[in-house]
Amino acid sequence: MPPSRNLRLLLEYDGSRYHGWQRQKNALTIQEVVETALAKLTGEPVRVIGSGRTDARVHARGQVANFKTNSALPLKAFLHGLNSLLPPDIAVLAAEEAESDFHARYAALTKTYEYRILNRPQRSPLQRLHTWWLPQPLNLLAMQQAAATLLGEHDFSAFRASGGRPGSPRRQVLAAHWQPGENGLLIFTITADGFLRGMVRSLVGTMVEVGRGKRPPSHLQKLLASGDRRQAGPTAPPQGLSLVAVIYCGVQGSSRPAPK
């Protein structure tokens, strides 16, 4: 009997102790933990599809996932039941019925990521798992100028990590900007129709070199044209990165679930 329901979840998690989203044989992942909890709740094996495969130690405030089930449990039972079974570093923010053909990854229109840098002389024990600490001063204006060059459709091969999914390296960036936060925080936010593996962290690592005065802001345009990853900067560490929102047609996955 084919599953009768397709349910959509909005998830938040701290990825610090996980080896990314995607289930793996010899490492603990978010997908495995969520699927295990769902199997206990429904009494049936469940495969969960995420909107994106966040890497090891990367966080999410707006990961969207869907799964199919024959369970007749009400939505509130999925919300509260799952949260009672999940560890403290993973939570379900919302659960809702989805169309039978909804697919969390293929139906996504845009995704938004955020990267946080703690740019101050003193490190922060409280933020060490969620920021990249850089004690040397950075030129925020130069980094803002570099981010502006990313807008539009480009070939992002120069910022693509090895081992990603095959396919076109072209992506359309709808928004990209740096803004200052409190107590030395610098926050980079980028929205695009999709992302290559390692793309955001490679961009951040290169823009940090711009902020350090090692590259001019316009150099990102040259890197995009070159398509050569070897010419770009180092990859920023994973703990500063979070998936914050996924947009679908008429549906938004974000850190703030829609009111019921």
- Active site amino acids: 55
Say which amino acid occupies 69: T
Could you tell me where the DSSP H helices lie in 110-233?
Answer: 140-148, 199-211, 219-226
Q: For residues 190 and 178, give the distance between their C-alpha atoms in angstroms, rounded to a whole number.
A: 9
Give residues with Cβ within 8 angstroms of 224, minimum separation 6. Answer: 149, 150, 154, 155, 156, 158
Say which amino acid occupies 25: K
Q: What is the 8-class DSSP label of residue 255? A: S
The residue to which tokens 């999410």 are assigned: 60
Q: Supply 122's token pair.
A: 């003193």
Q: Supply 151's token pair.
A: 């807008």
Cβ burial, residue 229 (10 Å; 0-12/13-18/19+): middle
Give residues with Cβ within 8 angstroms of 81, minimum separation 6. Answer: 41, 73
Cα-based distances in Å from 183 to 117, 122, 179: 11, 10, 13
Strand partners, 117: 132, 186
Closest to 241 measured CA to CA, from 88, 52, 27, 24: 52
Give the count of alpha carbons within 13 A of 38, CB side only: 26
